[in-house]
Structure 1
């Protein structure tokens, strides 16, 4: 890409989406000896989706909480991401993502300055954005939420916190072979 855009800044980002909902995320926790930890479980199948963009070399992130995963919502996320990071003539973004159907759908509109690179099937170990979800889930684990709005409020606050945790995210997502 540097040869193709010699006067532009080139960055390699990674993208993935994560389904979250009213069905709780159950994790192991510490408890005093002789006591069982208790976590409420209410199996309700209502979902929201967290779209996560990460620049592993710096640990910078962009987050979007959206109601669905499909081509229409992915187009909106791509457009907003391009605006947030300033993609265009002077800044080119190579965005690495998995091969989900909506990432390559016919009605996909890729903004100027964004170039998509689809990973081979069944290769989540190559996707740095996959590692974001354990951090995003932290305040949601072992909790029941009454509504998606309540869950999204907690998730929004968590995304704001994660945007300030660049060094932690860089350590988690910047593989030794990832381009700088």
Structure 2
């Protein structure tokens, strides 16, 4: 007889309620954040081609790269992104500062994110309008921004040859802007029920 799996209870609502209690005058919003490395050494993807024949594809073997930091509000098209040359605590602090300026007046953002070393609140300067809420260890599937990265790579950033850092930056910014032009795409990519059902009005 196979052992029954124990269902994990969604603890997000109670955590949000605790944060709301600490910020009674603010309007709470749930956001999810992640970073992804994009560079000259891109990825190949599946393509439609003649059966039994290997399709040709362009792959750049150089290594210049950057990191795209992004925060998305689950189940909406609201997002904020910043391209930075590296991923560390200093870069994360820069992102948080710019993200806080993007928030509407009176909003307190609960930023759901993984437990990367540069997300440790002790190494960061976190603005007063943001609370970091770490996900459980080794659970990238809980972060909807991971689906955004997959979509960007599959749709816009595969089979590319890019000339240096500026070429990578231009390609990533163009891909991100094209994603934003697809009305409703971020909504469908990020609408995780455990997040959208946990929002506090």
Identify whether the pair has TM-score above 0.5, normalized to the shorter chain.
yes
TM norm structure 1? 0.90
Q: For 2:92, what is the secondary structure of its paired residue?
A: helix
Larger helix proportion of the pair: 2
Query: Which residue of 102, 115, 123 maps to 2:139?
Result: 123
Counterparts of residues 31-110 of structure 1 (less than 5 Å) = 31-33=49-51, 35-86=53-104, 90-104=106-120, 106-110=122-126
In 2, distance between residues paired with 1:99 and 1:23? 26
Q: Which moved more, 1:3-12 or 1:158-167?
A: 158-167
CA deviation profile, 1:98-141 (whole Å, cap 9, x unmatched): 00001106430001110001111100111111111022222211
* Inter-CA distance 118–143: structure 2 relative to 1 (3 Å threshold): same
Gaps spanning 5+ residues in structure 1: where? none
Query: Which residue of 170, 184, 189 maps to 1:153?
Result: 170
Larger CA Rg, structure 1 vs 2? 2
Give 1:163's aligned residue. Answer: 180
TM norm structure 2? 0.81
In 1, distance between residues paired with 2:71 and 2:182? 14
Q: Once superposed, which parts of structure 1, at least 4 consecutive aligned residues long, lie more than 4 Å away?
A: none
CA RMSD in angstroms comes to 1.8
